[in-house]
Amino acid sequence: MTRRRWIADQVSGNRAFLIGSHATHLARVLRATIGQQFDISTGNEVRHGRIVNISDDRVEFELGETVRAPALRMVKVALAVFKFDRFEWAVEKCTELGVTEIIPVIAHRTDTHLATAAAKRVERWRRIAHEASQQSRRIAPPEIAEPARLKQYLAAETAADRIVLSEREEYVQVPDLVGGDREVVIAVGPEGGWTDEELRLFAEAGWRSASLGRMILRAETAAIAGVAIVAALSGA
């Protein structure tokens, strides 16, 4: 039987703890009982866990044997900020597909009010990623970086395979640019796509341009499709 997985809020030796809202959900909503068993992620491994103590805001587990978990390919998504409801949907689905980091990028076509409000949304995006990670049985949630302007981000990115998705690229597709088990980052533009100047900045920074096919996809769809292709190529 597949056990439900929880990501521990605290770990101390052979004890792990859910705290606050996570504990309340397990204790009150799911009506957990002492002795009940779950898989518990400690951040770098997954272990069997048995509940030994319950309160409304704290659930304590005794940790047992390690559960085998497949290694994920290092896949990052540089996601231009767009309408928050759709951006959050992309965060959730990319998390389920196994991305290791999501970098919100302020692009030229990012609406000004969204760019201003993005920094205040980071904690919410992290909570969404945390819940999606537990649901999809990940060891740990992806890192959600602080929003960055495109030039700032390009200067800092060091992934081996850097791919910018562009609807103008007619012939080169993502599978043609991803090889081996190297770290991959996919950049997805905002509504309206990347500008000519932004595509020039990507090229100057060593990024390669690729298409997801003939259809013009919404930004959130492009992010999910790109990650799914890389995951399929790596056998994830």
- What's the whole-model pTM score? 0.81
The pLDDT tens digits for 118-128 are 999 999 999 99
**Choice between 81 and 26, residue whose per-residue pLDDT is larger:** 81
Look at residue 74 and tell me whether its pLDDT is greater than 70: yes
CATH of the domain at 55: 2.40.240.20
The pLDDT tens digits for 86-113 are 999 999 999 999 999 999 999 999 999 9
User: Contact 149/157 with Cβ under 8 angstroms?
Assistant: no
User: Which residues sit opposite 75 in a β-bridge?
Assistant: 184
Using CA atoms of 154, 155, 161, 167 in order, give the dihedral in degrees to the nearest 10. 20
The pLDDT tens digits for 146-185 are 999 999 999 999 988 899 998 776 656 666 666 667 889 9
How far apart, in whole angstroms, are the C-alpha atoms of residue 152 and residue 174?
Answer: 24
How far apart, in whole angstroms, are the C-alpha atoms of residue 214 and residue 16?
Answer: 49
Cα three-residue angle 36-7-62, rounded to 5 degrees:
40
Verify that 106 and 30 share a domain, yes or no: no
Look at residue 186 and tell me whether its pLDDT is greater than 90: yes
Verify that 42 and 118 share a domain, yes or no: no
Burial class (CB in 10 A: 0-12, 13-18, 19+), 8: buried
End-to-end, the C-alpha distance of the chain in Å comes to 21
How far apart, in whole angstroms, are the C-alpha atoms of residue 209 and residue 5?
Answer: 38
**Choice between 210 and 69, residue whose per-residue pLDDT is larger:** 210
Last residue of a domain, one of 67, 84, 118: 67
The residue segments making up the domain with residue 173 are 75-233
How far apart, in whole angstroms, are the C-alpha atoms of residue 15 and residue 171?
Answer: 53
How far apart, in whole angstroms, are the C-alpha atoms of residue 234 and residue 229?
Answer: 9
Verify that 44 and 94 share a domain, yes or no: no
Under 8 Å CB-to-CB from 29, ≥6 apart: which residues?
none
Q: Which of 35-49, 51-65, 73-87, 163-177 comes out lowest in average pLDDT?
A: 163-177
Residue 147 CB neighbours (<10 A): 23
How far apart, in whole angstroms, are the C-alpha atoms of residue 166 and residue 178?
Answer: 16
How far apart, in whole angstroms, are the C-alpha atoms of residue 187 and residue 97?
Answer: 16
The pLDDT tens digits for 189-236 are 999 999 999 999 999 999 999 888 888 889 999 999 999 988 887 655
How far apart, in whole angstroms, are the C-alpha atoms of residue 55 and residue 53?
Answer: 7
Say how many domains are in the chain.
2
The pLDDT value recorded for residue 166 is 87
**Mean pLDDT, residues 69-94 taken together:** 90
CATH of the domain at 156: 3.40.1280.10
The SS3 call for residue 48 is strand
Last residue of a domain, one of 34, 67, 100: 67
Q: Rounded to an integer, what is the distance from CA 144 to the centroid of its chain?
A: 7
In the block, tokens 């009150």 appear at 28
Look at residue 56 and tell me whether its pLDDT is greater than 90: no
